[in-house]
């Protein structure tokens, strides 16, 4: 077996975990695990566990082991990773050692949070384990030359966390993290429905609404103007059908969208003037699944008056960056750490 085949990259996100093995094998799964309440043994991971969410009886519990981009439940995260790696790499026994493993971590994490990730990946007994900061991996994934002295301004809107970073000479010069991301928009929808339509809706309904009809700008209209949803009436407890117009979602999203725009402006303000010129000429680079929400790129552009380049596949940018970095580790090893 060729050496690079046993290299693994791990992007353990709030919503999605992306694993790659070697150069071509990739697995994307929701970051969810179903555990037996009594024994804590795994009853399903990824899509299978997500499909059980909200429907289980007392014998099972559905756990999302990540919160705001870091491990909140180490045991569940370790079990979830073990099961997902088995799916990715079925021919390899758990006892055989891997070559190199690299995992991405938000720049703003504490040592304790990083230690949890090290423990979770340590179970695979690879020859070497590495960590890399997410904004660096995202920039590499977007084919940017992070080693040059020209500044690269990255905005990564994940599920639970938005990271904004200015990169130069393979390091992070300015940084802001914000606990707002794709999931905040779902929470906004749920809150709006509670207040304005007096119904409670499920997480899945909120996500469907966001994907099908969500926009943060009236000038970026979704394919359909309105959408019918079913929720639970506050007063009667009986299921109720409501028609929602996309304008309502623009209103619901306005605060979270403004928080992201304000954080971007704040980070631009603290950038050293030597690098501001680079950002002016190059524009800023946008990635993360949350960045796919309609109108976000446009409202950023309108507010900062700079070009905003949205990655072509923002859900996998960090994973792609790690794969590139591990495959050319001589060039990138300075950005890896243990
Ligand atoms: N087409 C889309 N429109 C709007 N939002 C989307 C779209 N596709 C995915 N998302 C959102 O992207 C988010 C997940 O993005 P991503 O996978 O980058 O985050 P993550 O890595 O799991 O989270 P984090 O980086 O915070 O740990 C979810 O909130 C999801 O709803």
Q: Which is the closest atom of ligand 1 to the Cα of 207? A: 31
Say how many Å lie between the CA of residue 50 and the centre of ligand 1.
15
Query: Which residues fall in the annotated binding site for ATP?
Result: 207-210, 289-292
Residues 88, 235: Cα–Cα separation, whole Å: 47
Say how many Å lie between the CA of residue 289 and the centre of ligand 1.
3
Please tell me the predicted confidence (pLDDT) of residue 149: 96
Q: Which residue's CA is the nearest one to ligand 1's atom 7?
A: 292
Q: Which is the closest atom of ligand 1 to the Cα of 31? A: 22
Say how many Å lie between the CA of residue 272 and the centre of ligand 1.
30
What's the topology of domain 3-137+318-335? Nucleotidyltransferase; domain 5 (3.30.420)
Say how many Å lie between the CA of residue 39 and the centre of ligand 1.
32
Residues with CB under 6 A from ligand 1: 13-16, 66, 69, 158-161, 181-183, 207, 210-211, 214, 288-290, 292-293, 315
Please tell me the predicted confidence (pLDDT) of residue 23: 75
Q: Which residues of the chain carry a pLDDT beneath 70?
A: 1-5, 90-97
* Superfamily of the domain at 183-253: ATPase, substrate binding domain, subdomain 4 (3.90.640.10)
- Residue of 183, 290, 319 to mutate, ligand 1, most atoms within 8 A of C-beta: 290
Please tell me the predicted confidence (pLDDT) of residue 91: 66
Give a three-class secondary structure readout of the chain.
Answer: CCHHHHCEEEEECCCEEEEEECCCEEEEEECCEEEECCCCCEEEECHHHHHHCCCCCCCEEEECCEECCEECCHHHHHHHHHHHHHHHCCCCCCCCCCCEEEEEECCCCCHHHHHHHHHHHHCCCCCEEEEEEHHHHHHHHCCCCCCCCCCEEEEEECCCCEEEEEEECCEEEEEEEECCCHHHHHHHHHHHHHHHCCEECCHHHHHHHHHHHCECCCCCCCCCCEEEEEEEECCCCCEEEEEEEHHHHHHHHHHHHHHHHHHHHHHHHCCCHHHHHHHHHHCEEEECHHHHCECHHHHHHHHHCCCEEECCCCCCHHHHHHHHHHHCHHHHHHHCEC
Domains 3-137+318-335 and 147-180+254-312 alike in fold:
yes
Say how many Å lie between the CA of residue 264 and the centre of ligand 1.
18
Residues 132, 125: Cα–Cα separation, whole Å: 18
Please tell me the predicted confidence (pLDDT) of residue 325: 96
Q: Which is the closest atom of ligand 1 to the Cα of 17? A: 22
Please tell me the predicted confidence (pLDDT) of residue 92: 60
Please tell me the predicted confidence (pLDDT) of residue 1: 45
Please tell me the predicted confidence (pLDDT) of residue 41: 96
Q: Which is the closest atom of ligand 1 to the Cα of 210? A: 4
ipTM value of the model? Answer: 0.98
Give the length of the chain.
Answer: 338
Please tell me the predicted confidence (pLDDT) of residue 4: 45
Say how many Å lie between the CA of residue 158 and the centre of ligand 1.
5
- 202-242 pLDDT, tens digit each: 999 999 999 999 999 999 999 999 999 999 999 999 999 99
Please tell me the predicted confidence (pLDDT) of residue 3: 46
Q: Is 93 left (phi over 0), alpha (psi -120 to 50) or beta?
A: beta
Q: Which residue's CA is the nearest one to ligand 1's atom 8?
A: 289
Query: Which residues fall in the annotated binding site?
Result: 207-210, 289-292
What residue spans define the domains of the chain? 3-137+318-335, 147-180+254-312, 183-253
CATH architecture type of domain 147-180+254-312: 2-Layer Sandwich (3.30)
């Amino acid at each position: 077996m060729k050496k690079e085949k046993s290299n693994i990259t791990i992007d353990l996100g709030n919503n999605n975990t992306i694993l790659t093995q070697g150069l071509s094998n990739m697995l994307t799964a929701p970051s969810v695990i179903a555990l037996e309440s009594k024994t804590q043994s795994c009853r399903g991971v990824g899509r299978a566990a997500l499909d059980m969410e909200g429907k289980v009886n007392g014998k099972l519990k559905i756990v999302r082991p990540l919160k705001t981009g870091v491990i909140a439940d180490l045991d569940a995260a370790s079990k979830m990773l073990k099961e997902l790696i088995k799916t990715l790499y079925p021919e390899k026994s758990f006892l055989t050692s891997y070559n190199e493993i690299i995992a991405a971590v938000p720049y703003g994490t504490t040592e304790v949070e990083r230690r949890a990730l090290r423990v979770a990946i340590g179970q695979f007994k690879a020859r070497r384990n590495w960590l890399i900061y997410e904004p660096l991996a995202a920039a590499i994934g977007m084919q940017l030359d992070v080693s040059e002295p020209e500044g690269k301004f990255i905005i990564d809107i994940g599920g639970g966390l938005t990271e904004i970073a200015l990169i130069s000479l393979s390091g992070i010069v300015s940084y802001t993290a914000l606990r707002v991301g794709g999931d905040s928009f779902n929470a906004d929808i749920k809150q709006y429905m509670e207040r304005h339509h007096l119904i409670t809706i499920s997480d899945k309904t909120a996500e469907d609404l966001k994907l099908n009809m969500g926009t943060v700008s009236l000038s970026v209209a979704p394919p359909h103007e309105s959408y019918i949803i079913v929720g639970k009436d506050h007063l009667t407890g009986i299921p109720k059908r409501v028609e929602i117009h996309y304008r309502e979602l623009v209103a619901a999203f306005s605060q979270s969208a403004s928080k992201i725009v304000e954080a971007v402006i704040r980070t631009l303000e603290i950038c050293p003037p030597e690098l501001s010129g680079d950002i002016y000429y190059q524009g800023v680079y946008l990635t993360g699944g949350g960045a796919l929400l309609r109108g976000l790129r446009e409202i950023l552009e309108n507010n900062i008056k700079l070009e905003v380049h949205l990655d072509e596949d923002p859900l996998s940018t960090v994973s792609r960056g790690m794969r590139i970095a591990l495959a050319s580790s001589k060039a990138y090893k300075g950005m890896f750490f243990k």
